[in-house]
Structure 1
Amino acid sequence: MSAVPEHFTLPYLTEHGTQIALNLLAALLILLVGVWLAARLANIAQRALQRARVDATLIGFLRNLIYGVLVAVLVVMALTKAGIPSAPLVAALGTAGLAIGLALQGSLSNLAWGVLLIVFRPFRVGDYVTVGGVDGTVESISLMHTQLVLPDNREAFVPNAKIGGDAIVNFNRRGTRRFELKVGIGYKDDIGKAMHIVRQLFDADPRILKQPAPGVWTDSLGDSAVNLVLRAYTRYGDVWAAQTDFLRALKERFDAEGISLPFPQRELTVIQGGPLPGGQRPQSP
């Protein structure tokens, strides 16, 4: 009768099976305790970020990122402890990550730009901005898109990648806005008097800032008017009301002071009996 191979004997199988069971138990223990510790560490990091007054959207993202990375490391450790080689597993995870990254290239670009927008804060909720070719007030900033409320109360969801790849104009960041008006007066009107009236109206409106100082200048000599340009600064929330109220007050004051606001007109001179094009003279009736 042939001898039984050593690795098929009962003592060997018993010892080997016990070792496998212990490894599986250790792997399960690593996974359970590790997940609990990962959650605790992620929560500690979240509270630290909150104390540092980091943006709430970024806090949630970083907390989940930390937790996900720790769990992935724990899974690799647990499988290695269970006897599964780690090198093929890491290679498979890398290949899967590359495939997922290529498939979600646009979404990952939005995600990356979302993190950058939250970190560097070129605009905040409540700012009036131009982003991705869209004008509106920022309603919310998420990791994938930025929500705007347009002036006519429509909503726009602009992908963060489009925002990051284009110019960002923030109308509120500096706290003040400048408005500019162009007004034409008649050639026979007194330019100095018109400018004096404009300066009086600037001084009378408390919404117009004294610094930077407002001003009025002669801009050009048009076909039917002397064109003045008016510039003044206000707080960013007052710019529209101040501009429209100032324009109405200027019109009423010019009317009261006899300063005309001419409309475009053209003078036509008719010479009877003059030569026609080509040197011909008109025929008498």
Structure 2
Amino acid sequence: MYDYLARLQLSERLIGIMTNLACALLILLIGIWLAARLANFAQRAMTRAKFDVTLIGFLRNLIYGVLIAVLIVMALQQAGVPGAPLLAALGAGGLAIGLALQGSLSNLAWGVLLIVFRPFRIGDFIRAGGNDGTVESINLMHTTLVLLDNSEAVVPNAKIGADAIINFNRRGTRRIELRVGIGYKVDIGKAMSSVQQLFEADARILTDPVPGIWTESLGDSSVNLVLRAYVRSGDVWVVQADLLRAVKERFDADGISIPFPQREVRLVDKAGNGE
């Protein structure tokens, strides 16, 4: 009789354990499905609200991650794992992981800050982490830049956050600056007038701020002029190259010389000096 009762109690315990495990598995399966649906719903809602693309992806993944974490805790409790030891184990595990991944956590923290405060967005041309390039993607751990030669740089977010970030696109316009030397015998006013006409002839050069040309310095063989003008951010490289060529062609047409450094070499005949 005692053996029968013991076996009956064991069977009931096994049935209870199996039932709890089945319920925990069911919670996981249904919960994962619901978490994905809720995260996608939040993503669509943020898209309709015209949130930033980078922020949408980050918040969607954050919502999904939090839901999965809560789901795992619920499933473990349903399976019979006590809550207090579970939380203690999770805390100890989190501390150990944090100590082992200090660099990665620094990248993660800066990734969150970059996404939340948005000093730059996808498509911006920036200087960050010692690199100049167009932002292709912003992840929690790193930022991907396409450099000027079309190579790809994957820059850790901690390196970007630890240095100054220069965003060349944020204002919508950029200043181009050229330096040109003219001969000392050239009329400076004539040279400036020629350049001013080039400014007025190019519709890509903005009139506000007003473009200008100034005398920068008196060099060894030339009077050095500096040209400054503002253009839209997307036109800066093309306009700068076109303007430099136009200045050269206009100076040639107007007879304005662009001198180059010259050296005078003297040969001394030692024999002729009686040495």
Instruction: Give the Å deviation of 1:13.
Output: 8.6
Q: TM-score, normalised by structure 1?
A: 0.79
* Residues 123 and 173, structure 1, Cα contact 8 Å, conserved in 2: yes
* Residues 57 and 143, structure 1, Cα contact 8 Å, conserved in 2: no
Deviations 1:4-41 (A, max 9, x none): 8xxx994x996897588558646753663472554444
Tell me the secondary structure at the aligned position of residue 84 of structure 2.
helix
Which stretches in structure 2 are left out of the alignment for 5+ residues?
A: none
Partner residue of 1:263 out of 247, 260, 267? 260
* Residues 192 and 213, structure 2, Cα contact 8 Å, conserved in 1: yes
Q: Distance in 2 between matches of 1:54 and 1:70?
A: 21
Q: Which residue of 2 aligns with 1:160?
A: 157
Identical aligned pairs, as a percentage? 69
Q: Which residue of 1 aligns with 2:114?
A: 117
Q: Distance in 2 between matches of 1:83 and 1:166?
A: 49
1:36-115 counterparts in 2 under 5 A?
37-115=34-112
Letter of the aligned partner of 1:98 in structure 2?
L
Q: Which residue of 2 aligns with 1:32?
A: 26
Tell me the secondary structure at the aligned position of residue 237 of structure 1.
helix
User: Over aligned residue pairs, what C-alpha RMSD do you find?
Assistant: 3.3
Q: Distance in 2 between matches of 1:244 and 1:93?
A: 60
Q: Which residue of 1 aligns with 2:203?
A: 206
Q: Distance in 2 between matches of 1:284 and 1:60?
A: 88
Partner residue of 1:149 out of 141, 146, 156? 146
Tell me the secondary structure at the aligned position of residue 148 of structure 2.
coil
* Residues 130 and 170, structure 1, Cα contact 8 Å, conserved in 2: yes
Q: Which residue of 2 aligns with 1:234?
A: 231
* Residues 183 and 259, structure 2, Cα contact 8 Å, conserved in 1: yes
Which stretches in structure 1 are left out of the alignment for 5+ residues?
A: 271-281
* Residues 20 and 80, structure 2, Cα contact 8 Å, conserved in 1: no
Instruction: Give the Å deviation of 1:94.
Output: 0.9
Aligned residue pairs: how many?
Answer: 269
The structure carrying a bigger helix percent of its residues is 2
Structure 1 or 2, whichever has the larger Rg, is 1
Tell me the secondary structure at the aligned position of residue 177 of structure 2.
strand
Letter of the aligned partner of 1:131 in structure 2?
A
1:133 equivalent in alignment to 2:130? yes
Q: Which residue of 2 aligns with 1:179?
A: 176
Deviations 1:45-81 (A, max 9, x none): 3333333333445444433433333343344344445
Report which stretch shifted further, 77-86 or 143-152: 77-86
Letter of the aligned partner of 1:51 in structure 2?
R
Q: TM-score, normalised by structure 2?
A: 0.81
Report which stretch shifted further, 56-65 or 149-158: 56-65
Deviations 1:119-150 (A, max 9, x none): 32222222222111011222222332222222
Instruction: Give the Å deviation of 1:209.
Output: 1.0
Q: Distance in 2 between matches of 1:58 and 1:179?
A: 32
Q: Distance in 1 between matches of 2:78 and 2:72?
A: 10
Q: Distance in 2 between matches of 1:265 and 1:154?
A: 40
